Amino acid sequence: MTPAGSLLTAHDLHKSYGSTPALDGASFSIHPGEVVAVMGPSGSGKSTLLHCLAGIVTPDRGTITYAGRELSTMSDAERSALRRTEFGFVFQFGQLVPELTCVENVALPLRLSGARRKDAERTALTWMERLEVDDLGAKRPAEVSGGQGQRVAVARALASSPKVIFADEPTGALDSLNGERVLELLTEAARSANVAVVLVTHEARVAAYSDRDVTVRDGRARDLEHAV
């Protein structure tokens, strides 16, 4: 059921919201260090698939296996520890804590995992340099541009050295030039650190940064190359 060498696998997921089916037999798998684009029309179930894979939403039916462990057998506390230590997240909007400075935002996941403030902020700054936003450390999210904010969010997602980054339309609110740069930096950093990226997008130019793509239609993920 788990394809050889895959890090995260979902098999035959079903999820309904009331009478609305959001997932209807979706399967998916990703290898360490792989960048997979999840594409498909609006409302087809891309975000729902991502939320299930990340353990944020529990599917009605189907199995999700991360590094050999089935998510459904874990307690809520274990699942949230998994999200904190193994996963990173980048969304389209509003993911930074407005009261914290940018460097505090990037350091936050490390702090939540018990790192000392100084160590966490040092690591945070390394990633901010990598994302070309180290000069924004002292600013608050409201004081930086949308593109800069996304870079800070990418730095935060990478700072805790996750194994998987879940990105849902990470460039959706950016112009092409900024969006492309964010993607370039995200995929480069992920590949060099062997981080897998689940990249939800409806834009082909964004998907072109991936190693392969999976299309979701009517709640079913069609994985043309790696049928699981």
Partner 1 sequence: MSIGHTLLGLLESGPRHGYDLKRTFDEKFGHDRPLHYGQVYSTMSRLLKNGLVEVDGIESDGGPERKRYAITEAGITDVSAWLAQPEKPEPYLQSTLYTKVVLALLTGRSAADLLDAQRSEHLRLMRILTDRKRKGDLADQLICDHALFHLEADLRWLELTAARLGRLAKVVNP
Ligand X SMILES: Nc1ncnc2c1ncn2[C@@H]1O[C@H](COP(=O)(O)OP(=O)(O)OP(=O)(O)O)[C@@H](O)[C@H]1O
Count interface residues toward partner 1 (CB under 8 A): 12
Tell me which of partner 1, Mg ion, ligand X, none is bound by residue 109, counting a contact when its beta carbon lies within the kind-specific cut-off of 5 to 8 angstroms: none
Burial degree of 21 (CB within 10 A; 0-12, 13-18, 19+):
middle
Residue with Cβ nearer ligand X (40 or 137): 40
Tell me which of ligand X, Mg ion, partner 1, none is bound by residue 209, counting a contact when its beta carbon lies within the kind-specific cut-off of 5 to 8 angstroms: partner 1
Residue 93 found at the interface with ligand X (CB under 6 A): no
| 192-221 positions binding ligand X, by CB under 6 A | 202
Residue with Cβ nearer ligand X (43 or 138): 43
Tell me which of Mg ion, ligand X, partner 1, none is bound by residue 27, counting a contact when its beta carbon lies within the kind-specific cut-off of 5 to 8 angstroms: none
Q: Which residues face 23 on adjacent strands?
A: 15
Residue 43 found at the interface with partner 1 (CB under 8 A): no
By C-alpha distance, which of 167, 142, 164, 152 is closest to 106? 152
Would you state the structure tokens that stand for residue 151, as one six-digit string? 């870079």
Q: Which member of 45, 162, 170, 179 binds ligand X (CB under 6 A)?
A: 45
Would you state the structure tokens that stand for residue 129, as one six-digit string? 């340099």
Residue 44 found at the interface with ligand X (CB under 6 A): yes
Residue with Cβ nearer partner 1 (40 or 141): 40
Cβ neighbours of residue 141 closer than 8 Å, sequence gap 6 or more? 96, 97, 98, 100, 102, 105, 149, 152
Residue 87 found at the interface with partner 1 (CB under 8 A): no
Residues that bind partner 1 (CB under 8 A): 41, 184, 203-205, 207-210, 213, 215, 224
